[in-house]
Amino acid sequence: MRDSSVDQRAVGFLLGLIDTDAAVRIRRRIGAPRPGSNGRRAARAALKVTPVPSSVLVWILEEDDPELNALVHEHGSADETLRRAVLRGVPFGPGRREPLPVDTALRKRAVEPAVPQSVVALGLVGALRAATAMGTARSAASMVLGHRDWQTVTAADRERPLPGYARWALSVRPDCPPALRAQFGSHAKFTHRVRQAGVLAGPGVYATAHGPAAQVLKVLSLGPAMFPARVRDAEDALRPFVRDHLGDREEAWAVLSQLLDTYHGTAPELIMTAGAIA
């Protein structure tokens, strides 16, 4: 296997889905390094240089860990809204409502952007209703922070539908509740824009329906340290493919490691291809 950190992390994630003794033997056969002793430190370093869909950042924020939140704030894929939420200590974990502490070093160096004037003048819902262009809609939507604001927006739209621009700007937010997005309605172009914004249906869908496989697996390899509660869905989705098409066959794993760098399909397609060739 090439000395590539991308390949090592991607294959390593899949090896974590099989028996430990078999994984040790296969690592030896294909020349993959053993997992490091400090997985969280390695994952933090990898996250800094790994582009990720915006939903992945929300999965990390759902851990409600101030140190992880600081990493999200500094990440190149984070938008102004997620950074503002981190600085305000907005919780993302299911059921949590109390504010989170903010990382001390981050608090000292980061400055929250000014609140949009439309929100100051009209309030949150008023600014969303007044949005007559995508720019003003995005500006207002950026101030929907946390569970309470999403509940307010959901109720307002149910009482009287929000303008199309506001609905659009809210829907492409990775933390928009799926029920609200469904309430807004959908069509092919709309769905495409949501996906372009990095909004994912969930880890299982990301693991099985997105590509290229190497990039998807590289992102998922961060999961055990960065978003453990979410990564289990991806593991469960991929485990049957690994079991049925790779198992503990060293040759199949060797083929997978050779194909990985240039394969453009999804992870299940890669796994099935490697198993068939071997």
Q: What pLDDT, on the 0 to 100 scale, is given for residue 202? A: 94
Q: What pLDDT, on the 0 to 100 scale, is given for residue 186? A: 75
SS3 of 157-178: the string is HHHCCCCHHHHHHHHCCCCCCH
Q: What pLDDT, on the 0 to 100 scale, is given for residue 1? A: 41
The predicted model gives 142-146 an average pLDDT of 95
The predicted model gives 139-161 an average pLDDT of 96
Q: Is the pLDDT of residue 4 over 70?
A: no
Greater model confidence, 99 or 4: 99
- Amino acid occupying residue 238: L
Q: What pLDDT, on the 0 to 100 scale, is given for residue 193? A: 83
Q: Which of 4-13, 113-122, 161-170, 206-215 has the lowest mean pLDDT?
A: 4-13
- Three-state DSSP at 108 gives helix
The alpha carbon of residue 142 and the mean position of all alpha carbons in its chain are separated, in whole angstroms, by: 19
The CA distance from 235 to 217, in Å, is 10
Q: Is the pLDDT of residue 37 over 50?
A: yes
Q: What pLDDT, on the 0 to 100 scale, is given for residue 19? A: 92
Across 211-236, b (16+ Cβ under 10 Å) vs e yields bbbbbbbbbbbbbbbbbeebbebbbe
pLDDT in tens, 227-253: 999 999 999 999 999 999 999 999 999
The CA distance from 226 to 234, in Å, is 14
**Cβ contacts of residue 240 below 8 Å, gap of 6+?**
none
* Whole-prediction pTM: 0.92
The predicted model gives 207-214 an average pLDDT of 96
The predicted model gives 50-59 an average pLDDT of 95
What are the phi and psi torsion angles at 255 (to 5°)? -65, -45
The predicted model gives 37-60 an average pLDDT of 89
Q: What is the mean pLDDT of the chain?
A: 92
The predicted model gives 46-67 an average pLDDT of 95
Percent of the residues in the chain that have a pLDDT greater than 90, as a whole number: 80
Q: Compute the CA torsion angle 243, 245, 251, 253 (nearest 10 deg).
A: -60
56: its two tokens: 């992945």
Q: Is the pLDDT of residue 217 over 80?
A: yes
How many CB atoms sit inside 10 A of residue 40's CB? Answer: 14
